[in-house]
Structure 1
Amino acid sequence: MVSSMTKEIKIALLMAASLFMEILDGTIVTTALPKMAQYFHTSLSTIALLVSVYLITVAIFIPLSGWMANRFGKKKIWIIAVIIFTFSSLSNALAPNFSFLLLMRIVQGISGALMTPTARLIVLEKTPASQLLKMVSYLIWPALIAPAIAPVVGGFIITYWSWHWIFLINIPIGLIIALIGIKLIDTDKINKTSSFDLLGFIEIACSSGIILIGAELATHGKNYWFSSLGLIILGVILGFMVFKHLKKASNPLFSLDGLKITSFRICQTSGSILWLSVGAMPYLLTIFLQTIFHWSAVKAGSYVLFIFIGNIGIKPFTNPIIRKLGYRGALLSSFGMVFITSIALAFIETTTLPIWIMFLALVSGVGRSLALTAYNGLSFSEIDPQDRNSANTLNAVVSTLAQGMGISLITVVVNLFQFFFLINTAYELGFIFLGLLMLFPVIEVLFLPKNIGHATIS
């Protein structure tokens, strides 16, 4: 079977493997935090820095990926990033103290920030429009599978081995894909004259970092809300400065020209709402079932798992659905599923049949998976190959920020509702809020031409 694959498909699968390693590492760590807190004799809130610091580091250094790939070569940057990620994983497992472990998580975050966008770029830059949806689909699988299996794999490792293996499992994966990549990926052209936009990088890094730090603070309780709001506002102001700088700079860190193309611009605006929802819904449903229904974490998690089952179960059919309905039709259908299930979840009670809750979670996952696939295909459908580097970098920055904001946003929203309503009503309104969020992308997509992105599905 492998021998019958084209070289392009083999490379796409290899890149998907590196994405899987990075996404799994970013999600599986949360299952090990209690054990790690005991091991290092520190509080759970302190050990949780391993997650937030990693995510913030990724957001800060992602903007570097496009320029470095252009300046030093995509193959070289990807292989170096994979190797650094692999050996920083080993260093995490062997960390003698928490400070060293935190430092290695920062190193791991930097390498992940370079590895993930570069992997996507390796696939995107040489893929013709007619094959774009197919190739991009390979890159979506890791984002769907890794979060689904992370709790199970993490729980198994913590129960039967030790937290060290959370990081050690990256070593064989990293070494194998690096060795295959050295042989399989062609050496690409580099631009030695490409100047580095230091001011642009500093502005983007500060804006992204401050926004995510503010979002993280919001999850620590009402006492931090004003500080959180202040940081987010500061980050947004810096974001406007970044936009102005990138528009005027003669050699910007990455170009904003992609935003002139409707299909790409829509994917950054309404697509961000989807990414917010993707992060928020599993979290909200989990906390709701534990807090309001008084279910155990294991029981609540087993029901939330149906979101991920829906994500993965529909995936083999997403491309045919998109080809049948077009991007516009597929997106509107997926938004409808997300909207209806979000509203319906607001009305479940302790007497609700378990199969109904499972069904709603499943359909919610189906809708998100279909929308995610459609957005990823549509995003680059009208971007010229030579412009995909900048577009890929911008897309990575936007999606990372949106994902990072999801849990923080719904946490604040539910807490705000608790000022005016009973706690169970506040959670119910939280589901309605997530459903109503879908109205914005619906309005945007409604005005798209029916044949938008047709070159990738014809």
Structure 2
Amino acid sequence: MRLPAASFRMSPAPGFRTIALIIASAMFMEQLDGTILATALPSMATSFDVSPLHMSVALTSYMLSLAVFIPASGAVADRYGARDVFRTAIVLFTLGSMLCGIAPNLPTLVLARLLQGIGGAMMVPVGRLVLLRSVPKHELVSAMSWLLVPALIGPVIGPPLGGLIVTWLSWRWIFYINLPIGIVGFILATRFVPDVRAAERTPFDGLGFVLSGISLSCLVFGLELASRGATSPLGSTGLVAGGLAVGALYIWHARRTRYPLLDLSLMRYQTFRLSVVGGSLTRITAGSVPFLLPLMMQLGFGMSAAHSGIVTFVSALGAMAMKATAAPLLRRFGFRSVLVWNGVLSLAFIALCAAFRPDWPLWIIYAVLLIGGFFQSLQFTAYNTVAYADVPSERFSSATSFYTTFQQLMLSLGICVAAASLHASVTFSGHTQAQIGDFSVAFLVVTIVSLFAAPICALLPRNAGAEMSGHRAR
């Protein structure tokens, strides 16, 4: 969306930490909900008197909403105001959570999950848009650090928390816990989040919305089904191929439209382009670790779901430690050096997970996960910040929609790559179920794929994002 400079208006903003934590709380709620549900599916199937396999639709319906509505988030925020859209998204997500909790049957649950997905699709990119437009560039690194930590904690604590809730309460409380978070988030957003909106309205790209929705839903749905083996390889491959075909049609449309929903011209900005490409490769590993690590701890080490959750939570502690050090590290070394060398370090610690064995002392496993969580969190703080270094502020709406769309797609691809690697190793080894060695193969495969991000990040200029980091290249 190409608007004249300074063509958006906003009200005075409070401190960036307040805004970042409000948005981070909404992201935490969305990320927690996405991982906590998987633990409760067997219990929900019993309650609804259906096969556990049929419960997969509760996951895919939510992902479908995300795929369809994330691309439209920036355009909607510019038209109606980021604060109003953000608050509405919280209301939709919270209302959807309540309806999920009281759902009497599976069809009602699916409809409620679709409503939840619409709210989730708007919360994350619009929240990031508010932060970008209300925080000065020189404080954006610190703001992104505060924003990222709760989003990383959600997927880590989701599985063990889900296990505890199902064991001691009811699966319905998995959705009810979102209600107080949503209510408080709505109140705080009303009080503190600035009103950001475009001064000039542009036409909504309806055809682009339809094409991108079909393409992305086919891709995400196909990858998600392939990762769980919920359908035949031909079925999941057909969905992915169909998504790519419609995606090519969208590209043809976007090049001929003045205001495309997903603006491909943003890739002309070098920092944005390299962050999208390098970040996409890195997120393949990020999407795979929350899938592989708990499974390895339970199937390979014989841990309970709660115990494995405690082990994996250590990586979140490393992520929390990062928020105080991201700004000084980026100021000292710059975005390029951090993204290249920290990227290699973070992947090295993920690769070390392939060597985990039951006879390892737990403190060594904790140390690897703690340090790896720190480096991985620093990596995504750098990616999420430098992406907007050269993008004009009037194009932030389009940039956040574009960036978040690829982020969601690559996290799904990460699970698919991990699951495919695990399945291939089990088949090749002749095992009846996954062994520790099979998990080692999967960890190494996703690590090798993400290593290709390092030479891409090396293409960044030495002074990339200097206004944000304060780094001055020698």
TM, length-normalised to structure 2: 0.89
Question: In the alignment, does 2:288 pair up with 1:280?
Answer: yes
Distance 1:233 1:254, change over 3 A: closer
Distance 1:155 1:413, change over 3 A: closer
Paired-residue identity, %: 30
Identify the match of residue 157 of structure 1 among 157, 165, 174.
Answer: 165
Distance 1:246 1:292, change over 3 A: same
Q: Which amino acid aligns with 1:69?
A: A
| Residue of structure 2 equivalent to 1:345 | 353
| Residue of structure 2 equivalent to 1:68 | 76
The worse-fitting range, judged by mean Cα deviation, of 380-389 and 394-403 is 380-389
Q: How do 1:39-78 residues align onto structure 2 when only pairs under 5 Å count?
A: 39-78=47-86
The worse-fitting range, judged by mean Cα deviation, of 45-54 and 369-378 is 45-54
1:437 counterpart SS class: helix
| Residue of structure 2 equivalent to 1:430 | 442
The two structures, once aligned, show a CA RMSD in angstroms of: 2.3
Contact 1:345/1:428 (8 A) holds in 2:
yes
Identify the match of residue 466 of structure 2 among 439, 454, 458.
Answer: 454
Unaligned runs of 5+ in 1: none
Deviation at 1:378, TM superposition (A): 0.9
The worse-fitting range, judged by mean Cα deviation, of 367-376 and 298-307 is 298-307
The worse-fitting range, judged by mean Cα deviation, of 156-165 and 110-119 is 156-165
- Once the two structures are superposed, what CA deviation does each residue of 1:208-245 show, in whole Å capped at 9, x if it has no partner? 10011111221343962222222212212322222232
Distance 1:330 1:185, change over 3 A: same
Contact 1:338/1:435 (8 A) holds in 2:
no
Identify the match of residue 188 of structure 2 among 174, 180, 201.
Answer: 180
Distance 1:418 1:187, change over 3 A: closer
Deviation at 1:323, TM superposition (A): 1.9
Unaligned runs of 5+ in 2: 1-12
Distance 1:10 1:315, change over 3 A: closer
Contact 1:343/1:432 (8 A) holds in 2:
yes
Distance 1:245 1:413, change over 3 A: same
| Residue of structure 2 equivalent to 1:13 | 21
Distance 1:32 1:264, change over 3 A: same
Q: How do 1:110-129 residues align onto structure 2 when only pairs under 5 Å count?
A: 110-129=118-137
CA distance in 2 between counterparts of 1:352 and 1:86 reads 42
The worse-fitting range, judged by mean Cα deviation, of 200-209 and 222-231 is 222-231
Contact 1:218/1:228 (8 A) holds in 2:
yes
CA distance in 1 between counterparts of 2:375 and 2:14 reads 31
Deviation at 1:191, TM superposition (A): 5.3
Deviation at 1:304, TM superposition (A): 2.7
Distance 1:64 1:435, change over 3 A: same
Distance 1:30 1:323, change over 3 A: same
| Residue of structure 1 equivalent to 2:339 | 331
Identify the match of residue 25 of structure 1 among 23, 33, 56.
Answer: 33
The worse-fitting range, judged by mean Cα deviation, of 145-154 and 371-380 is 145-154
The worse-fitting range, judged by mean Cα deviation, of 439-448 and 307-316 is 307-316
CA distance in 2 between counterparts of 1:84 and 1:110 reads 7
Contact 2:351/2:443 (8 A) holds in 1:
yes
Q: How do 1:206-355 residues align onto structure 2 when only pairs under 5 Å count?
A: 206-221=214-229, 224-355=232-363
The worse-fitting range, judged by mean Cα deviation, of 431-440 and 202-211 is 431-440
Identify the match of residue 106 of structure 1 among 102, 114, 128.
Answer: 114
Question: In the alignment, does 2:432 pair up with 1:420?
Answer: no
Q: Which amino acid aligns with 1:355?
A: W
| Residue of structure 1 equivalent to 2:148 | 140
Q: Which amino acid aligns with 2:277?
A: T
Question: In the alignment, does 2:208 pair up with 1:200?
Answer: yes
Contact 2:78/2:201 (8 A) holds in 1:
no
The worse-fitting range, judged by mean Cα deviation, of 168-177 and 90-99 is 168-177
Contact 1:246/1:254 (8 A) holds in 2:
yes
Deviation at 1:198, TM superposition (A): 1.2
CA distance in 1 between counterparts of 2:293 and 2:394 reads 42
Deviation at 1:301, TM superposition (A): 3.5
CA distance in 1 between counterparts of 2:430 and 2:376 reads 30
CA distance in 1 between counterparts of 2:31 and 2:309 reads 19
Deviation at 1:274, TM superposition (A): 1.6
Q: Which amino acid aligns with 2:24?
A: A
The worse-fitting range, judged by mean Cα deviation, of 121-130 and 110-119 is 121-130
Distance 1:146 1:282, change over 3 A: closer
| Residue of structure 1 equivalent to 2:8 | none
Deviation at 1:395, TM superposition (A): 0.4
Deviation at 1:419, TM superposition (A): 4.0
Deviation at 1:8, TM superposition (A): 4.1
Deviation at 1:295, TM superposition (A): 4.1
The worse-fitting range, judged by mean Cα deviation, of 261-270 and 188-197 is 188-197
